[in-house]
Structure 1
């Protein structure tokens, strides 16, 4: 069973995660790339190893070429590589043929997708495009690499029973009341409620952000296998779509981050954007912490109720890119 699902689309970044003319390392399917955004907001990506002596291009810098486009510069010998992977050698006035093969990127608005070096097997989900049309973008958070394989990461994300364990701290979740799981092949929906233990008034006055935590967290997770989970949340002052992104960097390393979108019902909602981003970061940090405390090869001798989301992940992993019929709702 392939561990990184070749042929799936991966959301490498939102344009806001890149600073103009500042290179950044991006990893996918065991390969490293340097990605940068030029002054015209065009996105470029090349293999990260300089073809001269292997220096990391992401540790270099960018130089503008004219008013709009730019090249990435190797930090070792200052060789400049344009977006096509060509350079001009010292003492020469002519560009070389491409020495680096650009990573194929698919840009949809502010979203940067890629299939890596593989032929597409499943389409890019259009749900984020729809969200961007009706929600405003709040920001990104919790961008980190975790030393775990993609399957383990996704099983954790779809383990609805772990909320009152892993996420008890801060959120004080006391129970998980599971309602429904709708299986639509590579798409699914999960609905459940999570009652929380209340904070005292004194605790809230010390940390006012706690006033924003509801007595019961009502969860609707919209899942797009394998790279995207959207938590749809209703807050007192608006609605949020908290989008959890997953990227297989290597066999045993998976990157995750959050893109947060909102619909304000009250002006106060927009002022609270950073608070909601911080809540999302806490969730990812808690998940990363528990994933570092698991013996991965332990036989599972106990099966809890409502592991249907985990079953959905395993089934799609086993049959990817095909979908095993029949689909069902329960």
Structure 2
């Protein structure tokens, strides 16, 4: 159960799919080709062509008169429709399905999948709520990291690594933990992070640091296992920075960020790309440190406020049951 079968995973936001351009995604050790036709329909098939195994994601799409499309194998140009059927050369008759479509659940712009497994927990509704109230800013940092799912989740819920992993840009001095509320597969963490003063030379060389407050007030809303929402607010507006996780295989985990904003000032959305860049740097720093960890090292030291990591371990080890104790503090 190292990949938490039965959990819902957000494979992509529709904005991540160009019309009629195949995209490779991986889930539970299997590769799929994902594409969006001109009608807005999302299709997903196993990525290996059943003829000689070419990657369909390296091919292209052929659009039909009704604006639907088929994915085309780059090796022998065989076309596969959304049902996995093709028409062999010299024949005008469609074959039976040669590829089994990956079951998808489309909610607005969100593309979810259980990877063909029976659902054990429902899809969290929080993203639909955010999309209905906030404006979409964009996506960033779509990254595949050579690590299994558990270290990725532990890192994201490690409230002590901010002044280490993320110190180069944000210059976080310490983490002042406030509270953690445990609701089973949901939780909320609140903490403050004072930042060091930047010099004028640093401000001139990188004006983006002017957007970093003296104290970063963090609220992480966690939905185990697939998403963490960082709620950030300043005088210009509110941001919902959504970190997503997808178990590509037992040793490979994908992460990316969706960002939504609620403006209070006209300049807020103009700064959207800068906010996205901050998120991109955070993911790059997290991915970098995960590549530099000896994962099997016994943990002989425990720091204060590792409650988020304890919450992850409890839910991971007991998946999909919710087991006491309640870790609120």
Correspondence for 1:165? 164
Correspondence for 1:66? 65
Correspondence for 1:290? 289
**Aligned runs of 1:70-85 on 2, under 5 Å?**
70-85=69-84
Deviations 1:22-81 (A, max 9, x none): 001000000000000000111000000000000000000000011321000000000000
2:13 touches 2:109 (CA, 8 Å); kept in 1? yes
**Aligned runs of 1:33-182 on 2, under 5 Å?**
33-182=32-181
Displacement of 1:326 in angstroms is 4.5
Displacement of 1:239 in angstroms is 0.5
Displacement of 1:18 in angstroms is 0.3
Deviations 1:176-216 (A, max 9, x none): 00010000000000000000001123321232111100011
Correspondence for 2:224? 225
1:39 touches 1:67 (CA, 8 Å); kept in 2? no
Give the distance between the partners of 1:312 and 1:321, measured in 2 at CA. 13
Give the distance between the partners of 1:292 and 1:141, measured in 2 at CA. 20
Give the distance between the partners of 2:205 and 2:47, measured in 1 at CA. 47
Give the distance between the partners of 1:328 and 1:301, measured in 2 at CA. 21
Give the distance between the partners of 1:260 and 1:242, measured in 2 at CA. 5
Deviations 1:92-127 (A, max 9, x none): 100000000000000000000000020000000000
Give the distance between the partners of 2:197 and 2:109, measured in 1 at CA. 39
Give the distance between the partners of 1:101 and 1:232, measured in 2 at CA. 39
Give the distance between the partners of 1:110 and 1:203, measured in 2 at CA. 39
2:49 touches 2:55 (CA, 8 Å); kept in 1? yes
If the length of structure 1 is used for normalisation, what is the TM-score?
Answer: 0.99
**Aligned runs of 1:183-222 on 2, under 5 Å?**
183-222=182-221
Give the distance between the partners of 2:256 and 2:97, measured in 1 at CA. 33
Give the distance between the partners of 1:38 and 1:202, measured in 2 at CA. 49
List gaps (5 residues or longer) in structure 1: none
List gaps (5 residues or longer) in structure 2: none
If the length of structure 2 is used for normalisation, what is the TM-score?
Answer: 0.99
Give the distance between the partners of 2:35 and 2:184, measured in 1 at CA. 35
Displacement of 1:325 in angstroms is 2.8
Aligned-pair Cα RMSD in Å: 0.7
Give the distance between the partners of 1:85 and 1:246, measured in 2 at CA. 27
Residue range with higher mean Cα deviation, 126-135 or 320-329: 320-329
SS of 2:219's equivalent?
A: strand
Give the distance between the partners of 1:113 and 1:23, measured in 2 at CA. 17
Correspondence for 2:261? 262
Distance 1:240 1:132, change over 3 A: same
Q: How many residues align?
A: 329
Give the distance between the partners of 2:205 and 2:291, measured in 1 at CA. 31
SS of 1:92's equivalent?
A: coil
SS of 2:288's equivalent?
A: helix
